[in-house]
Structure 1
Amino acid sequence: MKTNRFKFLSIILFVFVVFQFQAKSQGNFKTPKNVIIMIADGWSESCIDATEYFNDGEKGKSIYRDFDIQLFMSTYPAKVSDAEIPQNWSVGYNSYRAWSDFESAKNGATCSGAAGTALATGVKTYNGAIGMDLSKKPLPNLTEKFKSIGRAAGVITSVYFSHATPATFVAHNVHRDNYSEIALSMLLDSKVDVIMGAGHPNFDKSGKKANESDYNYKLVGGKDAWNDLKAGKTKFSTSSLSGNSIVQDIDGDGKSDQWTLIESRDQFQKLMSGETPKRVVGVPKVLETLQFNRTEENYTNAFEIPFNNEVPTLAEMTKAAINVLDNNPNGFFLMIEGGAVDWANHANVAPRMIEEMTDFNMSVKAVVDWVESKSSWDENLVIVTGDHDCGYVTGPIENNNNPNTNPIINNGKGNMPGLRYNHTNHTNILIPFFAKGAGSEIYNRLANNSDMIRGRFIDLTDVPNAIFMLLEVGK
């Protein structure tokens, strides 16, 4: 067993070295100064189609539809749990089974912890892991890599910041549900410059001020940590799992760099331009998601229920985060998550899925506008993808869960498209992947797999591994 594992690792190392040599010698790939990965958690091709039909009345209008690189991506984990039983090992993705037995798509699906870890580190792991390998050892991630080479790094999300996807890009924990431990690790152990996401302890999930007896500090690391964060302290009265209670020095001057906490929408909007603090934690005044839980009322059309105007949009958070990160002349890494697409699909609520997808798309537009007005595509690599499918959305025909023969029905702009959910959880189907800018051609090189319907596809792990390669090529 050890011999086989050694041979496997040797082959991987050999391929990596050969790929680096070829890239350097052929000069094929440009190393990006800035890398922005945008993740619509739980999306699929059907989610994109449905959103385009509602907003534009036709397919193909999303800004990333014009990106140079357009592929699909597999998302399966190494194991569906960390239990040591043979049935937990993944069977991967099988094209024939995926298109002939649609129930098979429900088997072996990833969770956002394993998927996020794969996207952040390039290594597959067990469902529930946060930046840990199969042996529950920490894996180096993209934010750590960028900080190690003198660049800035940040993560933002439309759900709480200690949730699985943002956590995997910053923290290391054996399980995604350990929210307080994860939040403390993000605040105390990491050297990232920006963290933004919901989780405000003083507000409920709809964004209303909570009764003091109902304050929920779990998502931000506990009451003491929250109070220390608000006070701008560099030494917290509580410690992370590593035993550390001191905020990190991120610029090498030997001094801890305190966090500046922002909470109101006005503060987020002001941060979109002008001078910025060195490090920012942005926690909008809502507990779980920016808008998904603003009401429990059922509704049949997207945007039927007014939004909570007291919290920022994901696009506003995006602009604010970039305004902080681009202070670093060496460049930056930013992960942006539209996290509540997944929440809507779990609940099988199509109007809210379209709302969340629209919010995500506006964030993509904000990134593209910044690249084209303040920087250039020669300096930036922008990736737009998901981490897995959720809900298995198809057209409305009953007893037909083939998205190829039962596509989403276009009912015109402003009208809910015809669709149907086939599952309330994640699936193992391929999801869309888009990339544009410096080095993006590397993903065409890595698309070595082929699906009988979707064509060439990459894997989650290819996303960060290509970035690691590009950074090495640029040395």
Structure 2
Amino acid sequence: MADEKAAAKNVILLVSDGASPGTWDAASYYQHGKLGEQAYDGFSTKGYMSTYPLNTSTTPTNTAEGELGYDPTKVWNAATAEGEFGDYPAAFEGYEYLRSGITDSAAAGTALSTGEKTYNNAISYDNFGQPLMNIGDYAVESGRALGVVTSVQWSHATPASFAAHNASRNDYEGISKEMIESGKASVIMGGGHPFYDANGEFRIPTSGEDYEYVGGAETFAEVLSGNTDYTFIDSEAQFAALADGSYELAEGEKILGTFRSGTTLQQGRDGEGMTPGLDNVPELSTMAEGALNVLSQDEDGFFLMVEGGAVDWAAHANDTGRIIEEHVSFNETVASVVDWVEANSSWDETMVIVTTDHGNGLLLGPDAATVPFQPVQNNGEGEIPGVSWHTGNHTNELVPIWAQGPGSELLAEAATKVDPGLANYEFRGLGQNYLDNTDVFHAMMGAMGLDAAAVTAEVEAAEIEVGALAGLAPASTDLVFA
């Protein structure tokens, strides 16, 4: 099942949901007044990644043939486009192309977690309506611990793609119920608290919908009663204790942390960006540190996914202040994870990947409606950069990816495609090569020394049922990067 020579004991995937290339730049300009100062900028492997889904249907279409792709010749087409794109000027044909054929977070998360492209809406489901084993399943079957952490509801699309299986991302109650009842993940952290609103204010739930992100009222009552595999935490102090080591963890204790907000850590609160935030919720970095302290108790290692989920929400709203806030929080979380690796593990045994699941907002420079692909304008440290938005939805842009540690070379080997137009972004120093989001799954599996077919066969032989997944595996199980 696992290769004894596998170097990566641990794999940590950090996802800034909905971060277009310009989003990374805007946050760095605000933080440092320049690029190149983030913890991931010094990683050994760096490049770009395509994110398109198999198709844009929201239900299975029962074919393995993909309808979409990424075509650099269409991306960089600077011919003037006539008319408007919703509330945005059409501007250029390249922008029009990037606003079409887009993935949602479910299909993108499933590609990262299973190595298979699928329809929009699918949570570890293929385009024939069948569940797929995801890397969380494989990690647990290899003896490792699993954790998912997010700044939005923990049953949202991205965390769900690594710890659940569902034909529809919108079945939040079903997804969260599976995550709780399976007990598969040793750590689950995020929002969706039924007793708090988006401003962190206490509320009395008035309907079943208030409980949908936590498995429904009955399941949540079982959680609070201690009748599940999980210890429930929700106060900022509890998250902080878990992070600083003062929380007394019992051997094998599993944590379900639901911070005191109905939606996001900070993005959903009232007011403008770059203003004081809620003080009753932890930082994303605090949750990540706490999760690492729990997961690292497993001597066999772990897989952890950490998501800056509300970056996407701010992009949908075209809220420049809030997206910088959210992405700065994500950057600080990456820095905390890097510090943890260097203090408690090593780059010889832990692989860290930093990326996003897709772009959102097509964030460019202030005059990008007339200057094709004008980069975000640097206005100096502590100043909001000059930007313009060109959609309120996801994009088909190539997105950045960085990696460090054992197995990162597999990502470099997978980046065999070349987009000469990336020379427009050469100031980032990421080159012109790109891989596909499905390659990330194969690289993570390879880093951990796991073979999908072998794991599935062992599960079948032991007659272990992984939810409804017995006997299922991704269609492609070889480490082939093309």
Relative to the length of structure 1, the TM-score reads 0.85
The CA deviation at 1:190 is 4.4
Checking the alignment, whether the CA contact within 8 Å between 1:394 and 1:401 is kept in structure 2 is: no
Pair 1:436 & 2:404 matched: yes
Counterpart code for 1:74: S
The CA deviation at 1:470 is 2.9
For residues 285-316 of structure 1, the C-alpha deviation after alignment (integer angstroms, 9 at most, x for no partner) is 00010000111x3x3xx42x211010001000
Q: Quote the residue 2:46 is aligned against.
A: 70
Counterpart code for 1:294: R
Question: What is the aligned residue count?
Answer: 419
Q: Quote the residue 2:370 is aligned against.
A: 400
For residues 127-173 of structure 1, the C-alpha deviation after alignment (integer angstroms, 9 at most, x for no partner) is 00001001111111111111101111110000000000000101111
For residues 374-425 of structure 1, the C-alpha deviation after alignment (integer angstroms, 9 at most, x for no partner) is 111001000000000000000000523733xx11111111111000010000
Flag the 1:85–1:30 CA change in 2: closer, same or farther, 3 A.
closer
Counterpart code for 2:343: S
Structure 2 portions without partners, runs of 5+: 78-93, 423-431, 455-482
User: RMSD value over aligned CA atoms?
Assistant: 2.1
CA distance in structure 2 between the partners assigned to 1:164 and 1:200 by the alignment = 17
CA distance in structure 1 between the partners assigned to 2:441 and 2:167 by the alignment = 21
2:283 to 287, 291, 313: 313
3-state SS of 1:147 partner? helix
Q: Which moved more, 1:58-67 or 1:73-82?
A: 58-67
Alignment of 1:234-273 (within 5 A): 234=228, 258-272=229-243, 273=245
3-state SS of 1:261 partner? strand
Q: Quote the residue 2:434 is aligned against.
A: 457
Flag the 1:470–1:213 CA change in 2: closer, same or farther, 3 A.
closer
3-state SS of 2:404 partner? strand
Flag the 1:212–1:155 CA change in 2: closer, same or farther, 3 A.
closer
Flag the 1:191–1:401 CA change in 2: closer, same or farther, 3 A.
farther
Q: Quote the residue 2:460 is aligned against.
A: none
CA distance in structure 2 between the partners assigned to 1:399 and 1:50 by the alignment = 18
Q: Which moved more, 1:205-214 or 1:370-379?
A: 205-214
Alignment of 1:117-132 (within 5 A): 117-132=110-125
Alignment of 1:90-105 (within 5 A): 90-100=67-77, 101-105=94-98
For residues 330-350 of structure 1, the C-alpha deviation after alignment (integer angstroms, 9 at most, x for no partner) is 111000000000000000001
Counterpart code for 1:317: M
The CA deviation at 1:471 is 3.0
Q: Quote the residue 1:422 is aligned against.
A: 390
Q: Quote the residue 1:7 is aligned against.
A: none
Flag the 1:163–1:149 CA change in 2: closer, same or farther, 3 A.
same
Q: Quote the residue 2:215 is aligned against.
A: 221
Pair 1:160 & 2:153 matched: yes
CA distance in structure 2 between the partners assigned to 1:473 and 1:197 by the alignment = 28
CA distance in structure 1 between the partners assigned to 2:450 and 2:286 by the alignment = 34
3-state SS of 1:461 partner? helix
Pair 1:281 & 2:275 matched: no
For residues 9-33 of structure 1, the C-alpha deviation after alignment (integer angstroms, 9 at most, x for no partner) is xxxxxxxxxxx9xxx9xx9x96201
Flag the 1:147–1:462 CA change in 2: closer, same or farther, 3 A.
same
3-state SS of 1:441 partner? helix
2:32 to 56, 81, 85: 56
Pair 1:208 & 2:181 matched: no
3-state SS of 1:73 partner? strand
Q: Quote the residue 1:237 is aligned against.
A: none
Structure 1 portions without partners, runs of 5+: 1-19, 235-257
Checking the alignment, whether the CA contact within 8 Å between 1:348 and 1:391 is kept in structure 2 is: yes
Flag the 1:333–1:83 CA change in 2: closer, same or farther, 3 A.
closer
Checking the alignment, whether the CA contact within 8 Å between 2:158 and 2:307 is kept in structure 1 is: yes
Alignment of 1:349-360 (within 5 A): 349-360=319-330
3-state SS of 1:393 partner? coil
Alignment of 1:274-353 (within 5 A): 274=246, 275-277=248-250, 278-295=253-270, 297=271, 299=272, 302-303=273-274, 305-353=275-323
The CA deviation at 1:84 is 4.1
3-state SS of 2:223 partner? helix
Q: Quote the residue 2:177 is aligned against.
A: 184
CA distance in structure 2 between the partners assigned to 1:398 and 1:116 by the alignment = 30
CA distance in structure 2 between the partners assigned to 1:401 and 1:109 by the alignment = 23
For residues 3-52 of structure 1, the C-alpha deviation after alignment (integer angstroms, 9 at most, x for no partner) is xxxxxxxxxxxxxxxxx9xxx9xx9x962010000000001221111111
The CA deviation at 1:65 is 0.9
For residues 446-474 of structure 1, the C-alpha deviation after alignment (integer angstroms, 9 at most, x for no partner) is 11111122211011100011122233379
Checking the alignment, whether the CA contact within 8 Å between 1:36 and 1:382 is kept in structure 2 is: yes
Pair 1:35 & 2:11 matched: yes
3-state SS of 2:262 partner? coil
CA distance in structure 2 between the partners assigned to 1:219 and 1:260 by the alignment = 17
Q: Quote the residue 2:464 is aligned against.
A: none
Counterpart code for 1:269: A
Checking the alignment, whether the CA contact within 8 Å between 1:394 and 1:402 is kept in structure 2 is: no
Q: Quote the residue 2:457 is aligned against.
A: none
For residues 349-374 of structure 1, the C-alpha deviation after alignment (integer angstroms, 9 at most, x for no partner) is 01000000011111101110011111
Q: Which moved more, 1:279-288 or 1:269-278?
A: 269-278
3-state SS of 2:218 partner? helix
CA distance in structure 2 between the partners assigned to 1:182 and 1:420 by the alignment = 36
CA distance in structure 1 between the partners assigned to 2:11 and 2:28 by the alignment = 26
The CA deviation at 1:206 is 1.5
Checking the alignment, whether the CA contact within 8 Å between 1:76 and 1:90 is kept in structure 2 is: no
Relative to the length of structure 2, the TM-score reads 0.84
Pair 1:47 & 2:23 matched: yes
Checking the alignment, whether the CA contact within 8 Å between 2:308 and 2:326 is kept in structure 1 is: yes
The CA deviation at 1:212 is 4.1
Q: Which moved more, 1:144-153 or 1:334-343?
A: 144-153
The CA deviation at 1:189 is 2.2
